[in-house]
Structure 1
Amino acid sequence: MYRHELTDQEGELLTPLIPRAGTGRPRVDDRRILNGMVSKIRTGIAWRDLPERYGPWKTVYTRFRRCALRGVFARVLQQLRARADAAGNVDRLVQTDSTSVRAHQHAAATGQTAAQPRQKEQDDHALGRSRGGLTAKVHLARDGRGRPLAVLLSPGQRNDSPLRSPLAERIRVPRIGHGRPRCRPDHLIADRAYSSQGFRAYLRRRGIAHTIPERFDQKGPRRRRGSVGGLPPSFDQKVCRCRNTVERCFDLLKGFRGIATRYDKTTTSYEAAVCLASCLLWARSL
């Protein structure tokens, strides 16, 4: 085993979850292809610069792109969550936050030629201009043990507030066998960017307890309205201190150079890379 490759435990866990075609010529070993993908996102090198021990770089890239378009890594991530839930290894204390990722100049070349039909992608490819230049933003929901539950991408200049409900709706932990997926956490912790009456009402409708500090520009208007403004939202300082675990989760994901800097041109490829890195974080804890 070389550096930046799957350990035996991770390989035995992830390789059987990759779907295989029932017909056609024999495929290249899945373990070797997965090692090439993991090495790429860990080091951030170009696909053409992959070491020869992984075989032709185009084979690795084609398999990665095919898995990205079919949502293979997202489904593998759900299967790992289901296994952890069956073992009682999922903490229902969920934290949400976002982080900005600087995009490399090669990630901006997203044009399509006439011979290559446009795939189903976001029009902006989750790239935008902010003070840091061309950036993307990764919105993340994680469990109490620092493992990702939901991932959502947006342009770097976009505010967190429009994506609060879509991110919460992506929280999904399937069950092995019969039973509906677990889509409602026991408690949700977020920072002031998620503070709004609409989002708090959305969480109350779903029966989700939450700890979100009130924004300073919301306190003054509420107090000036008197009794009409209502009571201040409940806030538990002790529970809010657990929110630092989401920052540690971002640190683990950004340990992958291909995640800390976005080199992928399309949203589908970059989100697949984040899902693959998340699979490794889950595999370590199973």
Structure 2
Amino acid sequence: MICDGRGTPLKVITTAANVNDVTQTLALVDGIPTVAGRPGRPQGRPESLLGDKGYDCNAHRDALRNRRILPVISRKGSPNIKGIGKLRYVVEQTFALVHQFKRLVLRWERRTELHDAFVSLACSLICFRRLK
């Protein structure tokens, strides 16, 4: 899941249980929809991407820089970036909002399409509540 700074989910991808999250980083970034609102060209990509040490990969860092996105990711084996825990808490809070829907805490559906539909519905309700 990728979300904005307020915790509004922007893109969700369902993978198998044994797949590392770092493999889906670029797919999530590329799947962010354009955001219109202010006059001018709509913004389609974020300015920076925050991630924990699990997303530390030089190839992905270079790919993000090529997309003009600043990667703010702690390196493995080094101390954490000061204050990144407070910023990463927003993503964990968004997961907690999705898990308020009891059907999504455990995956009951065998078909991925059904599970993705319920996740999309949950994200839509979260966005609706934020707008309300």
Superposition TM-score tier, normalisation by shorter sequence: 0.7 to 0.9
**Cα distance in 2 for residues equivalent to 1:181 and 1:264:** 36
Q: Which residue of 2 aligns with 1:100?
A: none
**Cα distance in 2 for residues equivalent to 1:183 and 1:245:** 21
1:182 counterpart SS class? coil
2:17 to 135, 142, 156: 156
| One-letter amino acid matched to 1:188 | L
Q: Which residue of 2 aligns with 1:190?
A: 51
Q: TM-score, normalised by structure 1?
A: 0.42
Q: TM-score, normalised by structure 2?
A: 0.87
Query: Which entry has the higher C-alpha Rg, 1 or 2?
Result: 1
Structure 2 unaligned blocks of 5 or more? none
Q: Which residue of 1 aligns with 2:128?
A: 283
Matched, 1:256 2:117: no
Q: Which residue of 2 aligns with 1:266?
A: 111
Q: Deviations over 1:117-139 (max 9, x none)?
A: xxxxxxxxxxxxxxxxxxxxxxx
User: How far has the Cα of 1:181 moved from its partner?
Assistant: 4.8
Identity among equivalent positions (%) equals: 31
**Cα distance in 2 for residues equivalent to 1:190 and 1:172:** 20
Q: 1:179 to 1:195 in 2, by over 3 A?
A: same
Structure 1 unaligned blocks of 5 or more? 1-139, 220-234
Contact (CA 8 Å) 2:34, 2:45: kept in 1 or not?
no
Q: Which residue of 2 aligns with 1:169?
A: 30
Q: Deviations over 1:208-231 (max 9, x none)?
A: 112101012xx6xxxxxxxxxxxx
Contact (CA 8 Å) 2:3, 2:11: kept in 1 or not?
yes
Contact (CA 8 Å) 2:36, 2:42: kept in 1 or not?
yes
| One-letter amino acid matched to 2:129 | R
| One-letter amino acid matched to 1:143 | D
**Cα distance in 2 for residues equivalent to 1:238 and 1:254:** 25
Number of equivalent positions: 129
Q: Deviations over 1:171-205 (max 9, x none)?
A: 113437x9765321022111111111101101111
Alignment RMSD, CA only? Answer: 2.0
